[in-house]
Amino acid sequence: MLASELIDPSILPLHPDQTVEEALESLHDQALLHGIVLDCDRVLGIVSEDWLLDANSKETLKQLSAGFPESTVLKINQSELEAMRVMSEQQIDVLPLVDENEACVGIISLRRTFIRLGQKIAPPIAGGILVLRVHPLNYQLSQMAQIVESGDALVHALYVEHLNNDQHMLVTLFTNKEDLDGIVQTFRRYEYDVVGTFYQSVDEVRLKQRYDSLMRYLNT
C-alpha cells in the first residue's frame, strides 16, 4: 500500500509566523515531539521539541528557519513500509508527504503508522500465535504454511524479525485457530525451535468450561 494511506488529517503543521513559544504549545496540544513547518504547501523543515526548547521563545520560526535541522520528506508514490522505515531511522513522529512538485499533500503520524502496522501483523481475527527461531538457510515459508494447514488452520499474517548478534531470526505466525497443540507438536517433530506460543489449548477450554459449570451449580 502507498504511504498516502498513513496521512493523519488531525495533525496540524507549524507556520513560519508562529513564535517558538506558540510552536511548543501546538506540539504539546497534539502530543507530538516533532512538528513540520510549512510555508503554504512548502516544507521548510521538521523541528523537534528539544530544538525549540533551546531556541529563543519570542523569535518566530521564520527568523530561525536558516538553522532548521535537515529534514526528510517522503514522495507520494512511495510505500507505507518506506514511511515506517524512515520514521524509525530518523526517530521522528511526523513525516511530510510531498508530490512530484515538492508540495506537501499531507502529514504522516507515528501513531497512525503504529495502528496500521498493528493491523498488518496482528489482524483482528481470533486465533493462536506461534514464534519460531529459524536460521535463514532453513527458512522455508512453504513448509511452515504446510505444517499449519495440516492442522486445519491458516496463516493469516507473518512477521519476520532479524535478531541482533545472532545468525537466526524470529518468525511469528498468526493463525485462525485457537488450539495449536497438534501444530506445535508437528513443528517440533520437524525440528523447529518453537520459542513462543500464545493460544488456548483444548484442555484449557475444557477446564474453564468445567469451572464455569461448577460455579453455576454452586450459585443455584
User: Quick one: pLDDT at residue 50?
Assistant: 95
User: Quick one: pLDDT at residue 202?
Assistant: 47
135 and 64 inside one domain: no
Domain that holds residue 164: 123-205
Give the span between the Cα atoms of 182 and 176, in whole angstroms. 14
114 and 157 inside one domain: no
Report the number of distinct structural domains present in the chain. 2
Residue 135 C-alpha cell reads as 536460521
What's the rounded mean pLDDT across residues 91-106? Answer: 95
User: Quick one: pLDDT at residue 121?
Assistant: 65
Say if pTM beats, i.e. exceeds, 0.85: no
* CATH number of the domain that residue 77 is part of: 3.10.580.10
pLDDT digits (tens, 9 = 90+) for 17-49: 999 999 999 999 999 999 999 999 999 999 999
114 and 11 inside one domain: yes
189 and 127 inside one domain: yes
pLDDT digits (tens, 9 = 90+) for 67-80: 998 888 999 999 98
Cβ atoms of residues 130 and 37 within 8 Å: no
Answer whether residue 197 is part of any domain: yes
SS3 percent helix, strand, coil of the chain, rounded to 5, is 40, 25, 35
